[in-house]
Amino acid sequence: MVGQLYLLSGEITIAKNKNKNNMTNLRPIKALTNFLIENEKEGMTMAEIGVFDGSTTCDYVDLIRKNNGKLYVVDWFKGNVGAGGVHEYNPDKEKEVLEIFKENLKGYLDLIEIYNGPSHEMIQNIPNNSLDFCFIDADHRYSFVFKDIELMIPKMKKGGIMMGHDYDDFDKNMISFIKDEYLEVDWVHVPECNKWAHCGVIKAVYDHFGYDIECRQDFDGQNQPIWIKRF
């Protein structure tokens, strides 16, 4: 595997220091990778909705190869509306980010179907009842997350496991603090409990599943909890 290309402040650089996977500058979600390692299965079929440069994908894709599996990825490669930092929305970066994703996943592209476009349209390309796992991490605004989940439910096999990122309600007590004006925002300060949170994610997950989910911390990764729903 070549050194990972890394998008920082609009510049593409080939990072120099490689980690133990021979990759560089990864911002993996270790909670996801570890969960997949615990639950791996022959022929595992997975979808990741929102991949950006493939930081997270790179970390688990070997597992898909090892199990003769398949991966669908969905992204418009433009970043997140309302986000700052590396994921800031910028339509001019679409080609560049897609190329970085492909470069980072070089050697694995035979396993991956890339659907480039708005998630609500692209998810339709994934066959129904086909997925053992999916991970939702695209737009964080309520209406978008709610719809991503809704569209992904029929894609899951019986016994499949749906997961998602940025679940800032690990203690499952925030719903009563969330006001309507916090929902269509990427990330917002909630004065009622003095926390920064992805309220759209929390409420969309709650409106689909209540608190009938598991969640895991990600202290070794991006440090944002993940939510997990078994079907």
Ligand X SMILES: C[S@@+](CC[C@H](N)C(=O)[O-])C[C@H]1O[C@@H](n2cnc3c(N)ncnc32)[C@H](O)[C@@H]1O
Cα–Cα dist 218/93, whole Å: 28
Q: Is the dihedral of CA 43, 35, 48, 132 positive or negative?
A: positive
Cβ-based nearer residue to ligand X, 96 or 177: 96
Return residues touching ligand X (CB under 6 A): 27, 29, 50-52, 55-56, 75-80, 87, 118-119, 137-139, 144
Question: How near is the Cβ of 155 to ligand X at its closest, in Å?
Answer: 16
Task: Tell the smallest beta-carbon distance from residue 59 to ligand X (Å).
Answer: 9
Q: How far is the CB of 97 from ligand X (least distance, A)?
A: 7
Total residues found in the chain within this entry: 231
83 versus 193: smaller Cβ distance to ligand X: 83
Q: Closest distance between ligand X and the C-beta of residue 79, in Å?
A: 5
Q: How far is the CB of 226 from ligand X (least distance, A)?
A: 10
Cα 215 to Cα 32, 125, 228, distances in angstroms: 11, 28, 6
Tell me the backbone φ, ψ of residue 107, rounded to 5 degrees. Answer: 95, -10
Instruction: Choose between 33 and 45: whose C-beta lies nearer to ligand X.
Output: 33
The answer to whether the beta carbons of residues 174 and 198 sit under 8 Å apart is no
Smallest separation, CB 10 to ligand X (Å): 15
Nearer to ligand X, 27 or 195 (CB): 27
Q: Which is nearer to ligand X, 134 or 193 (CB)?
A: 134
Q: Which of 89, 151, 87 is nearest to 119 (CA)?
A: 151
CB neighbour burial string for 179-216, b if at least 16 within 10 angstroms, e if fewer: eeebbbbbbbebeeeeeebbbbbbbbbbebeeeebebb
Q: In angstroms, give the least distance from the CB of 86 to ligand X.
A: 9
Count the neighbouring beta carbons within 10 Å of the beta carbon of residue 123. Answer: 24
Kindly report the CA angle at 125 between 112 and 116, in degrees rounded to 5? 60
* Cβ proximity to ligand X, 140 vs 229, nearer residue: 140
Between residues 108 and 144, which has the closer beta carbon with respect to ligand X? 144
Distance between CA atoms of 145 and 137, rounded to whole angstroms? 8
